[in-house]
Chain A
Amino acid sequence: MPTFESIQRPERWSVPFSADMSDKRVDRILTVEPFRTLDPKRFRGKVTLRGILKNDARLLRYGPGDIVVRQGDWGNSVFFVVSGLLRADLGAASSLPGEVLGRQKLRRKSLFEILAQLWNNPADPEVRDVESYRTDPRIGTREVDSQTRIYLQDVSAVLDKYRTATIAVGQFFGEDAALGRTPRQATVFAERSTELLEIRWQGLRDLMRRDDGIRAHIDDVFRERGLKWFLMNTPIFKHLDKDEIAEVVSQAEFDTAGQYDWAESFKHLVKQGIETNLEHEPVIAEEGHHPNGVIIIRSGLSRLSKRYEHGHRTIGYLTPGQIYGLDEIIDGWLSKTPKPLSASLRAIGIATVVVIPTRLIEKLLLENADRRRLAKRGKDARDPLTNSPKIDTTRINADFVDFLVQNRYVNGTATMLIDMDRCTRCDDCVRACATAHDNNPRFLRRGPIQNNIMVANACMHCEDPVCMIECPTGAIQRRVEEGQVTINDWTCVGCGVCASNCPYDAICIVEVRHDGGDFIRDDKKHAPIVKATKCDLCADQWGGPACQRACPHDALVRMDMSDIPKLTDWYTRNVAITLRVMTSGS
């Protein structure tokens, strides 16, 4: 008898989106358009329409004023209105203020408040002003189907004051965030009692694959709302006119590679060797193949690697807005023989990309360009198509790049890097952090070290903030202008979802105290109130992150990993000889 532990093989629907999606509810949805008239024959095999509705969707109820999504929220689902009526905030000049949505307004402390920290800072850690937790008259929270909802107190006043658009029965919304892994573009709240069907992206993908109507509809909306804006802001297309942009938008293909819930499997993956990890990253384009278009990263991150002897060598990574495959297309066009891709592109976690067909690139960009400059572009310090300075990624040590990619630290927009050759372990950074944050440091001066660089255990303010997915009250948010991911202490319900979602263990749940030093307790069960805490990059202090400012030896930085020139300069500032990446091709 073999002696091993056996379990049922996990399958796609082993864990449904919601346990509450009963057969009765599914039956009801199947009577609603467009689900009623979908052709069941298109849903053959295991993925049935019923299965999708039961496992990839959930029915949610909202009362008048309840907020469904806020602008800037992170999510990966689309909503369909089953009954009721919603409003989308049209934003612009008169958009709903953050405080009304349960968001903390970013307010720097006044000079007096900064000084007052000298005598006001309590001796105990995590002391809060109890009064500040008592209700704000403008917003309310309530429990609906065991979920905490933030609602607008006075819907009619909001409707009078702000410009909104209605979203009625039978409409979808939120497709851009679901498909593009981008932040929600508008705040949506219920005007009346409303029922929504929320479909997670896997279900949406399958519906789109099997039904032309849904696909065409979502595709149109997505191209018009999300893609157009994105392409117009991509440097190589900036000089195109309206018609040319429209041509690019209509011919662009959209692709998602990787898993939306990559964070879960990630922790296990890190422990394995590089080759396994590389294998777990779906290939977007493969070295040696001919490019069928220019690939533009729309969201997420991707790894560039080249075959080297029996393995692969990471030569860099691409962040949103960066382009891949253009060089090969230019070379192919100049020499009139197609050139194969010189490196492979793989999604790290998840990446969404837009592919613009080669023919269109040739027509719109290359035919009008200066041929001689294109041919000599290798020596040009500027890119011949955008005229912007070129980025040299070859100055960073290959092992270091590999380490950053492998551990997905490239996800960070403010990763804490410490140069251990300069760090005297004085812990001034930790003390400064504690002083600026309720006497409790928001990071640990601990973490893996590669060569002489430590990536400390601090929130990196990720490009793809998986912590923000599923926050029931939207307390964890990314600041639209500054980009920090912060937690609104007031609306945080201490559920811990963000902390368990964060793959880097950067969020802590703490028990909060009042002035006297005792824990604050809830009025019913008398259990301590807990809150999620993490680095907020000292958003309310002056002068930027206290950790970086406190380092006497210029050893610590908060690094935006997509700013490759800055990373390179920092990394090589003490290195006498420039390290070159060894690649098989160059």
Chain B
Amino acid sequence: MQKHNRHRIRNLSLLVVSAVVLWLLHGLAETALRDTARLSGWLLFGMIVFLAAYNVRKKLPFLPLGSSAAWLQFHIYVGLLTAVVFGLHIGWRLPNGGLETLLASLYGIVFVSGVAGLALSRSLAKRLTTRGNEVMFERIPVYRKRIASEVETIVLTSLDTSESTAIAQFYAERLRPYFSVTRNFWHHLLQSNRPRFALLSEMKAYHRFLNDDERLVMLDLEDRVAAKDDLDYQHTLQATLKYWLFVHIPITYALVAFAVFHLMLVSSFAGGAW
């Protein structure tokens, strides 16, 4: 078996065991009439602070704080374990107070975005290697503009040499909008080739209105359509890989802030009765 699979199985087993142990301990504490909400609350808070600290670790790459990969592994499994602690903390019921509902929602968003982000990281990275050239995200607009201006030149040149405006018309109606911006985000994310296929089919069908020279020009344009589509694909996947963190991180900060507030409130009401 390969290294990553081995690790996955080991870590998942550890996770399940920890979850069961926590559950049992919680049950025991309840029968012993302990203040379980306080225990699980502090545990949850500690775990969330640890999870949020990953952001700090990333900002300090030169400190000898362990590898980011090791952090992420802990992050994922501790993150998943928070679901059990969170469930125990709120007694597996939807909260009703305003602040509690807000806190639970923030937690829910961070948790779900984390799981989704992990799934995206693992699946999209693989898909990126299968289509189009490897491009730097920041350079994609430059390449797109380059293709667009090449296409414009091809069309203008064909206009100079041919009497018909068939190509220019097609360009104005169908191609210019296609090349001007990144398109078909959802199709690319869901791995659907429908828009590419549809546009290329339309171009093929248009051949019957063209003479031999124009057909060659059209073939040239079809290549660019495919190249631009590949670029859009890269853009969609790379953008998704980047931007999911724009949900996960800011909401984390909100969660930590409100959790501190929540802690202060409950501590002041409880009056320190341990």
Contacts and interface: CB of A to CB of B under 8 A. Distances in A.
Interface in B121-154: 121-122, 124-126, 128-129, 134, 136-137
Contacts of A114: 62-64
Contact of A449 (B4, B64, B129, B242): B129
B64 A552 contact: no
Given A420-B128, A435-B62, A551-B68, A425 B2 contact: no
Given A115-B63, A421-B125, A554-B69, A426 B242 contact: yes
Contact of A542 (B2, B64, B121): B64
Contacts of B241: 424-426
A420 B129 contact: yes
B178 interface: no
A436 to B, nearest CB: 5
B125 A549 contact: no
A567 B54 CA distance: 29
Contacts of A549: 61, 66-68
A431 interface: yes
A432 interface: yes
B172 interface: no
Contacts of A432: 61-62
Interface in B207-260: 238, 241-242
Contacts of A420: 125, 128-129, 134
Contacts of A424: 121, 124-125, 241
Interface in B65-81: 66-69, 71-72
Contact of B2 (A115, A426, A543, A574): A574
Contacts of A572: 2
Contacts of A546: 61-62
A548 B67 contact: yes
B60 A436 contact: no
A423 interface: yes
A449 B134 contact: yes
A435 B69 CA distance: 18
Contact of B61 (A431, A445, A446, A449): A431
A569 B4 CA distance: 11
Interface in A513-536: none
A92 interface: no
B36 to A, nearest CB: 34
Contacts of B93: none
B134 A435 contact: no
B136 to A, nearest CB: 7
Nearest to A421: B126
A423 B62 CA distance: 21
Contacts of A551: 67-69
B72 A436 contact: no
Interface string B32-72: 00000000000000000000000000101111101111011
B240 to A, nearest CB: 10
B3 interface: yes
B125 A423 contact: yes
A436 B62 contact: yes
Interface in B103-120: none
B3 A569 contact: yes
Contacts of A539: none
Nearest to B127: A421
A117 B69 CA distance: 22
A452 B129 contact: yes
B71 A425 contact: no
Contacts of B128: 420, 425
A552 B68 contact: yes
A5 B134 CA distance: 38
A555 to B, nearest CB: 8
Contacts, number: 87
B151 to A, nearest CB: 26
A446 B64 CA distance: 27
Contacts of B136: 445-446
B192 to A, nearest CB: 22
Contacts of B66: 549
Interface string A410-434: 0000000000111111101001100
A575 interface: yes
Interface in A540-582: 541-543, 546, 548-555, 569, 572-576
A51 B23 CA distance: 88
A436 B58 CA distance: 13
A573 B3 contact: yes
Nearest to B238: A425
B75 to A, nearest CB: 9
Interface string A452-469: 101000000000000000
Contact of B62 (A117, A449, A569): A117
A118 interface: yes
Residue from B2, B64, B125 having most chain A Cβ neighbours under 10 A: B125
A546 B63 CA distance: 9
Given A426-B242, A435-B61, A552 B69 contact: yes
Most central of A546, A573, A576 by chain B CB within 10 Å: A573
A114 B136 CA distance: 31
Contacts of A569: 3
Contacts of A575: 2
Nearest to B242: A426
Contacts of B137: 425
Contacts of A422: 122, 125
A426 B242 CA distance: 7
Q: Which residue, A422, A449, A575, has most C-beta atoms of chain B within 10 A?
A: A422
A82 B2 CA distance: 62
A542 B62 CA distance: 7
B10 to A, nearest CB: 15
A422 B68 CA distance: 14
A114 B62 CA distance: 7
A452 B125 CA distance: 10
Contacts of B71: 552
A118 B60 contact: yes
Given A421-B126, A425-B241, A543 B68 contact: no
A203 to B, nearest CB: 45
A553 B121 contact: yes
Contacts of A543: 64, 67
Contacts of A421: 125-126, 129
Interface of A: 114-115, 117-118, 420-426, 428, 431-432, 435-436, 445-446, 449, 452, 454, 541-543, 546, 548-555, 569, 572-576
Q: 3 tightest A-B contacts by CB?
A: A432-B61, A542-B64, A573-B3
Given A425-B128, A431-B61, A550-B68, 18 more contacts: A114-B63, A115-B63, A117-B62, A420-B125, A420-B134, A421-B125, A422-B125, A425-B125, A425-B238, A426-B241, A428-B61, A452-B129, A542-B63, A549-B67, A550-B58, A551-B67, A553-B69, A575-B2
27 contacts: A114-B64, A115-B63, A117-B62, A420-B125, A420-B128, A421-B126, A424-B121, A424-B125, A425-B242, A432-B61, A446-B134, A446-B136, A452-B126, A452-B129, A454-B134, A546-B61, A549-B61, A549-B68, A550-B58, A550-B61, A551-B67, A552-B58, A552-B68, A552-B72, A572-B2, A574-B2, A575-B2
